[in-house]
Structure 1
Amino acid sequence: MKTKEMENIQQAFKEKMDYDELLNCMRCGFCLPSCPTYIESGKDEAHSPRGRIALMKAVVDGEIEPDEDVKRSLDMCLGCRACEPVCPSGVNYGHLLEQARDIIYQNKKPSLPARVIRKSVFYGLFPYQNRLISMTGLLGLYQRSGLQKMTQKSGILNLLPDSMQLMERVLPKVPTRKEMKNRPYHLPAITPKKKKVAFFSGCLMDTMFLHTNDATTKLLQVAGCEIVIPKSQNCCGAIHGHSGEKKKGKALAKQNIQAFEEAEVDYIITNAGGCGAFLVDYGHLLQDEPEWKERAKAFSAKIKDISSILVELDFHKTPLKVEDQIVTFQDSCHLRNVQRIFLEPRKLLSSIEGVHYVEMKDADRCCGSAGIYNIVESDMSMKILDYKMEQTKATNAKTIVTANPGCLLQMKLGIEKEGLSNTVRAVHIVDFLLEAFEKTNG
């Protein structure tokens, strides 16, 4: 029986979904081999891009109801957007997915626990850097006080799912509260100045992964960049946009656009593939708001990934050296599929003396992290990770390099899961490049 809730969702699909974009899908199936959930689900069409688009269109056309099966299909999607580069029609699948999820989550009343969690995370935590600093500070206390070792020895973590137990082990050693509070807002170039750039420091990147941010700014300074770090910037909004909280994502986008407009720089640099992809999409996100549309496009046009600017400024010609080792690269889905950056990281890695670069089979296939996907869809995430680790082991790599914090944690989780933590490591590309620079230049 059709409920009022379903009627509201169906009406919203008719009013808000981009029907022309839905019709762009020719159902040719070129997307199928690129879709991890289609492959790992035993080639279930409901878990393919083509199948999900067909479901969206059927809801709009009134052929099916927006029931739990439709929601489940959309929730199971990683949002990796690997289907987009291979689509001959150029379907913007990621935009359709965000529209559909937003409609469902804004019109479907969640359970009380889910409502509390979503409100706490999306509205109470990520938009407030001071709260993220406090949360990260508590994690640091847990790590440095000895409580983490006590907890691990006590066996209490055995009550958690296996993947969560592994995740607790691979969390990075977080900075102190003082380090997170004492952040620079302007840094000079330390070689002849070539560019003036702004740095998008992010939310988790400037707390949990603060040392990677510091490595990023150091590399930019060495490459000849004067750096401005706007104080009023905020979370990019990706976690909101991907999870059916588009309105809040738009609010954060506007705050960031305004913050960076005042900087007057050549580029806005990012070091997280997922954040960069959402920032690049601000023009689409705000396309229906005349007072913001052009400002959003101008902002997005300045977004540049750290690997891209380093190659542009010939950092790869700088003497760089590490101990002899096999290195492989795991693509960030959004860096590759949305920002279309994949050659630059490989060029940088291959320029380092001592690196024997080996390309991983299906390096462009999602690792299964996908924001919070590895938490909310753990079973599918682990299936995808198992395949990724098979390909990683085949390279015999000592070092797995990534370009996104979620990918980094997921690959560390895979290393731990496979019992390889004594022989293999995962590292963000900027940390690896700084390691090579400091080893060579003192």
Structure 2
Amino acid sequence: MSSYVAGADVPDLKLIRQCVHCGLCLPTCPTYVVLGVEMDNPRGRIRLMKSAHEGAVSVGPEFDEHIYKCLDCRACETACPSGVQFGKIVEAARAQIETQRPRPPLQRAVRAVFFDLLLPHPRLLALAARASGLGARLGGPVLRALGRGSGAFRRVAEMTSLIPQRRLVWDTLPPQLPAIGERRGRVLLFRGCIMRAAFGDVNAATARVLTRNGFEVLAPADQTCCGALHVHAGERDGGRALARTNIDRLEGFEVDAIVVNAAGCGANLKEYGWLLKDDPAYADRAERLAARVKDVTEFLVDHGLTRAPGELRLRVTYDDPCHLLHGQKIREQPRALLAAIPGLEVVPLEEADMCCGSAGIYNVTHDEIAQALLRRKVERIALTRASVVVTANPGCAMQIESGLRRAGLDIRVVHLVELLDAAYGGTPTTLPA
């Protein structure tokens, strides 16, 4: 008898059986690279999920430990010759954990505030982010001093160090921005929750780059969080509720694409069809919406730049966000856009395809592994001698910026569209003078 219960997502046995246990994914798995433990790699976790299907193991503490120790970076999917869609099965396994293993009251309260109150309401999220930033600036030195004698204070100090030093900018985009020059089409910009609450300048840069290349940009205000963090954390019902809201509010817009500038959001939006496959009222609608989703780098390369970027004399390196490279299979497009900027020296980054340790909220829930991965990433960035790290996801940007700051390295972290916007004559606030 299966150890999984009805009423929650179950890891798809057909997807599990695609794994041939060849082990080609092992060198690409961040937790296996750090820990070297068989149960903490995709092959071991798949065996665990299959054993739970057979009733040989329960959804208990050991199952919980190994399933949640996964970063859900999906590097194994890129390496897998059999095409195992690991993200889908590990996220379903987490839904089983949340159903069968009730969390302590404090954890439940914290998750409720984060997933149910803050993420779906960007203004509240923005307020919380600014309060956290102020607290980190005022209390950071005290926490670090206390942390030398207490593990609890050290943990809080490490968490506050993740708050970016860059100015947090609220997204003030108007609902419609006209194309500059000949109009080539119309797109809808997905504004997100964290992007809207703290990276409004990146959303603005995205809109400017699109309009400069002939696209009218719609930026409706009533869209909500995509639900990616909910799905990754086993809160799939919450993720589905947000997906339905976005479908209701966005499907009626007549646009050529729904453009996304956050890799995690894009990967989740593209999988709305899978998330809602068992909902007869939304399954087809979810597939249709997902088919229109494009990462901004993907969209720009598909349609081509009509305006040549100006010169930028910078030495940069590019780090692949996991959910752009592994989740959406987008690798060459960001590099093609960087190559289109005259004067830019792009230095290849060793292990650019290895997770930085951010992984949604992983750097909070599994900080030791996350920090080990971050140190590995920072060491390789330092070897490039670049003055700027370019990426395409807010979580990656915050994590890498935190690691560079701790290492005492004066290296900026920017989103790729910020670099393009600067090359078009925008007003960069994060580039070296």
The answer, yes or no, to whether TM exceeds 0.5 is yes
Structure 1 match to 2:188 = 198
Structure 2 match to 1:267 = 257
Structure 1, 306-315 or 241-250: larger mean CA deviation: 306-315
Structure 1, 268-277 or 289-298: larger mean CA deviation: 289-298
Mapped to 2, the partners of 1:48 and 1:137 lie a distance apart of: 37
Report if aligned partners of 2:25, 2:79 keep a CA contact under 8 Å in 1: yes
Structure 2 match to 1:3 = none
Matched, 1:429 2:419: no
Structure 1 match to 2:159 = 164
Matched, 1:106 2:99: yes
- Give CA-to-partner distance per residue, 1:264-317, whole Å, 9 cap, x none: 111000000000000000011011112211111111111111112222332286
Mapped to 1, the partners of 2:179 and 2:203 lie a distance apart of: 16
Structure 1, 305-314 or 262-271: larger mean CA deviation: 305-314
Structure 2 match to 1:343 = 332
- Give CA-to-partner distance per residue, 1:354-387, whole Å, 9 cap, x none: 2111111111111110011111111000111111
Structure 1, 150-159 or 264-273: larger mean CA deviation: 150-159
Structure 2 match to 1:371 = 360
Shift, 1:206, TM fit:
0.7
Matched, 1:33 2:43: no
Structure 1 residues 109 and 292, CA gap change in structure 2 (3 angstroms): same
Structure 1, 224-233 or 368-377: larger mean CA deviation: 224-233
Q: Of the candidates 17, 22, 42, which is equivalent to residue 16 of structure 2?
A: 22
- Give CA-to-partner distance per residue, 1:133-182, whole Å, 9 cap, x none: 43245457x3xxxx7654345556743335325324x343113xxx55x4
The correspondence of residues 82-97 of structure 1 with structure 2, limited to 5 A, is 82-97=75-90
Report if aligned partners of 1:106, 1:245 keep a CA contact under 8 Å in 2: no
Structure 1, 234-243 or 147-156: larger mean CA deviation: 147-156
Mapped to 2, the partners of 1:241 and 1:14 lie a distance apart of: 12
Q: SS at 1:268's partner residue?
A: strand
Q: Of the candidates 100, 108, 113, which is equivalent to residue 115 of structure 1?
A: 108
Q: SS at 1:354's partner residue?
A: coil
Report if aligned partners of 1:139, 1:174 keep a CA contact under 8 Å in 2: no
Matched, 1:151 2:139: yes
Matched, 1:53 2:46: yes
Shift, 1:123, TM fit:
1.1
Structure 2 match to 1:4 = none
Structure 1 match to 2:167 = 173
Report if aligned partners of 1:335, 1:341 keep a CA contact under 8 Å in 2: yes
Shift, 1:8, TM fit:
9.6
Structure 1 match to 2:430 = none
- Give CA-to-partner distance per residue, 1:237-258, whole Å, 9 cap, x none: 0011110110110111011112
Structure 1 match to 2:62 = 69
Taking only aligned residues, the RMSD between alpha carbons, in angstroms, comes to 2.2
Report if aligned partners of 2:213, 2:305 keep a CA contact under 8 Å in 1: yes
Matched, 1:395 2:384: yes
Structure 1, 47-56 or 84-93: larger mean CA deviation: 84-93
AA at the equivalent of 2:45: R
Report if aligned partners of 1:13, 1:100 keep a CA contact under 8 Å in 2: no
Mapped to 2, the partners of 1:375 and 1:427 lie a distance apart of: 22
Mapped to 2, the partners of 1:153 and 1:270 lie a distance apart of: 37
Structure 1 residues 154 and 19, CA gap change in structure 2 (3 angstroms): closer
Structure 2 match to 1:404 = 393
Matched, 1:208 2:198: yes
Q: How many residues matched?
A: 420
Q: Percent identity?
A: 37
- Give CA-to-partner distance per residue, 1:326-380, whole Å, 9 cap, x none: 2110001001112111111111112212211111111111111001111111100
Q: SS at 1:206's partner residue?
A: helix
Mapped to 1, the partners of 2:243 and 2:229 lie a distance apart of: 12
Structure 1 residues 61 and 149, CA gap change in structure 2 (3 angstroms): closer
Structure 1 match to 2:404 = 415
Structure 1 residues 49 and 191, CA gap change in structure 2 (3 angstroms): same
Structure 1 match to 2:322 = 333
Shift, 1:65, TM fit:
2.3
AA at the equivalent of 1:167: L
- Give CA-to-partner distance per residue, 1:39-98, whole Å, 9 cap, x none: 1002x1111011001001111111122221111001110000011122111111100011
Structure 1 or 2: more helix by fraction: 1
Mapped to 2, the partners of 1:65 and 1:225 lie a distance apart of: 53
Structure 1 residues 290 and 105, CA gap change in structure 2 (3 angstroms): same
Report if aligned partners of 1:47, 1:76 keep a CA contact under 8 Å in 2: yes
Report if aligned partners of 2:213, 2:307 keep a CA contact under 8 Å in 1: no
Structure 1 match to 2:176 = 186
Structure 1, 153-162 or 374-383: larger mean CA deviation: 153-162
Mapped to 2, the partners of 1:152 and 1:274 lie a distance apart of: 29
Q: SS at 1:400's partner residue?
A: strand
Report if aligned partners of 1:40, 1:384 keep a CA contact under 8 Å in 2: yes
The correspondence of residues 277-288 of structure 1 with structure 2, limited to 5 A, is 277-288=267-278
Report if aligned partners of 1:9, 1:107 keep a CA contact under 8 Å in 2: no
Q: Of the candidates 269, 280, 289, which is equivalent to residue 290 of structure 1?
A: 280
The correspondence of residues 125-136 of structure 1 with structure 2, limited to 5 A, is 125-136=118-129
Structure 1 match to 2:266 = 276
Q: SS at 2:68's partner residue?
A: helix
Q: SS at 2:198's partner residue?
A: coil
Report if aligned partners of 1:9, 1:103 keep a CA contact under 8 Å in 2: no
TM-score normalized with structure 2 length: 0.92
Structure 1, 362-371 or 155-164: larger mean CA deviation: 155-164
Structure 1 residues 11 and 252, CA gap change in structure 2 (3 angstroms): closer
- Give CA-to-partner distance per residue, 1:397-434, whole Å, 9 cap, x none: 1111000000001110121121102xx11111111111
